[in-house]
Structure 1
Amino acid sequence: MRSINYLPATPVIVTGAASGIGRACAESLAQVGRPVAVWDLDAGKAGAVADAVAQEHSVKAIGLAVDVSDLDQISAGVIASREALGPIGGLVHGAGISGVATLEQLTPETWSAVLDINLRALPFIIKAILPDMKSQSGSAVVGIASINATLGNMMNPAYSASKGGVLSMSRALADELAMHGIRINSVSPGQIETPMLMQGLEAVPEVLEAFKRHILLGRLGDSAEVASAVRFLMSSEASYITAAELVVDGGNISSQRQ
């Protein structure tokens, strides 16, 4: 039987890593020995998460303020991450905004902001770290998509489009990255108990109950449950998986197809 090292100990960039799913991914990867670059808009929170991860899991970590909608900041963030941690061997693109706006409410500014952060950043970060990943055995990328890419939602068409784009972009890039031994996959969470979701539900508790009725497991998910799926896809245990979507939604999509 082929010997499997659960995870190569190469550094990973995690975007949107100061809270929610991004933070859980950074913690989960650090737990198994991977140095982590914690990217977020909030420099203070990014630094605090990096310090906590480094102390708890005895790995190198750096927190950086990076606006992934700004290509110059992406380039600077990659340079700083590489200088602090060494050649980058992976990416988890978890940065995202919801951009709640119906069709009538939608503006060009909202559309651009959502697409720039949720989708456009992904290929340009990959492009910036591609030389590093080519040199690292087991390099892998995971883009955080959403079940909205499949189900859609009238409240945020820009978000749904951006997450559908993550799925399509990952499949397209897989074709090229595979030539270098680099894998890329997507994880599509359902309703996960994150600060962004819970803040939106505070004023409308009936929506939370509606969510639960559509989830076969009858509850919201936890960020750590999404992070476990991400860690698997980043690992050598997923060495023959690329261009795939892993849905982590408690059965939400399945219930709505019945």
Structure 2
Amino acid sequence: MNPFDLSGKKILVTGASSGIGYETCLAIARQGGSFIAIARRRDFLEKLIEECGNENSFITADLSKMEDIKSIVDTIENIDGIVHSAGIVSLAPVKFYSEELMNEMRSINFDSIAYLVNLIFKKKKINKGSSIVLVSSIAGLFGMKGNGIYAASKGALIAISKVWANEFASSKTRVNCVSPGMVKTEITSKSIEDLSLEVIQQDEKKYPLGYGDPVQVANPIVFLLSEASSWITGQNLVLDGGRTSTI
């Protein structure tokens, strides 16, 4: 028996139109599972289904809107796992904080999954023995300049995952986080545009294994979704190519 096999498992994946979310859907399919992909960009979601097969499905939704979150929960049937990969990044030193920026960052990165999990459990649409994986960031663990609002939203995911791990243990539902360092995605490339090439090159040198690729995060997520990790809950798996292990 392959403990990494996801056959018969259906996983809800947010932020599935690109980057880590997209690669996670591909990795789920490779392990025999199926997914419900959630994102705003329909054309990217259609491409994903074309690549992975019609046993999978998608829902176009804006996770900053409560009515869209409610619609997702009303639409889906019972699931065996959730991956929250949706997120936005914006560098802002403290003097540039604004109500608009704080609300936008929090609503996508943190509030959306809190509401989604709340409604899914209320409506009993998650099976016993399921697994929930939240994509946090090393920014939520270490103080990086200009990352305050983003770091707060990602750190909140780590905190709430430990509470949920305790609350959901009675149904054998596990909850864990992964915290990537710099991964080459569409979202991070936009933040990189705000910095000089020299700054980026110097930063990548701090990563013993270099910057990561989305698949290098997706595969550990699949591990946490599978029976191979059946005795792991309330943990935060740092995926950073050795960045935070160096002085």
For Structure 1 versus Structure 2, the TM-score category normalised by the shorter chain is over 0.9
Match of 1:89 among 62, 80, 88: 80
Counterpart-to-counterpart distance in 1, 2:168 and 2:158: 15
User: Aligned residue for 1:132?
Assistant: 125
Structure 2 counterpart of 1:175 = 166
Is 1:79 paired with 2:74? yes
Letter in 1 for 2:47: A
Compute the TM-score of the two structures, normalised by the length of structure 1: 0.89
CA pair 3-187 structure 1, distance change in 2 beyond 3 A: closer
| Per-residue deviation, 1:178 | 0.6
Q: CA deviation at 1:170?
A: 0.2
Counterpart of 1:41 in structure 2 is 40
Residues 5, 29 of structure 1: alpha-carbon distance in 2 compared, 3 angstrom cutoff: closer
Q: Which residue of 2 aligns with 1:112?
A: 103
Matched, 1:225 2:220: no
Aligned to 1:209: 201
AA at the equivalent of 1:228: N
Name the stretch that deviates more: 190-199 or 6-15. Answer: 6-15
Give the equivalent residue in structure 2 for 1:19. 18
Structure 2: 5+ residue runs without aligned partners?
none
Give 1:75 deviation, angstroms: 1.6
Counterpart residue type for residue 6 of structure 2: L
On the 8 A contact 2:39/2:45 being kept in 1, the answer is: yes
Give the structure 1 partner of residue 147 of structure 2.
156
Query: What is the CA deviation profile of residues 141-184 of structure 1, one whole-angstrom value per residue up to 9, with x for unaligned ones?
Result: 00000000111322221110001000001001111111111000
Distance 1:116 1:187 in 2: 20
Aligned partner of 1:66 in structure 2 is 61
Shifted more, 6-15 versus 136-145: the winner is 6-15
Alpha-carbon displacement from aligned partner over 1:193-213 (angstroms, at most 9, x marks no partner): 111212332462112212212
Please say if residues 5 and 33 of structure 2, whose CA atoms lie closer than 8 Å, have aligned partners that are also in contact: no
1:50 and 1:79 mapped to 2: Cα distance? 21
Distance 1:8 1:33 in 2: 5
Query: What is the aligned length?
Result: 244
Report runs of 4+ in structure 1 exceeding 6 Å deviation.
none
Q: 1:198-254: per-residue Cα shift (whole Å, max 9, x none)?
A: 23324621122122121122x110100100110000000100000000011001111
Q: CA shift at 1:137, angstroms? A: 4.4
**2:30 alignment partner in structure 1:** 31
Judging by fraction of residues, say which structure has more helix: 1
Over the residues paired in the alignment, what is the CA RMSD in angstroms? 1.7
Per the TM alignment, residue 50 of structure 1 is displaced from its structure 2 partner at its CA by 2.3
Give 1:33 deviation, angstroms.
Answer: 1.6
Equivalent pair of 1:170/1:186 in contact (CA under 8 Å): yes
Give 1:132 shift: 2.4
Post-superposition shift, 1:60? Answer: 1.4
1:89 partner SS = strand
Distance 1:26 1:152 in 2: 31
TM-score by length of 2: 0.93
Q: Offset of 1:123 from its aligned partner?
A: 2.0
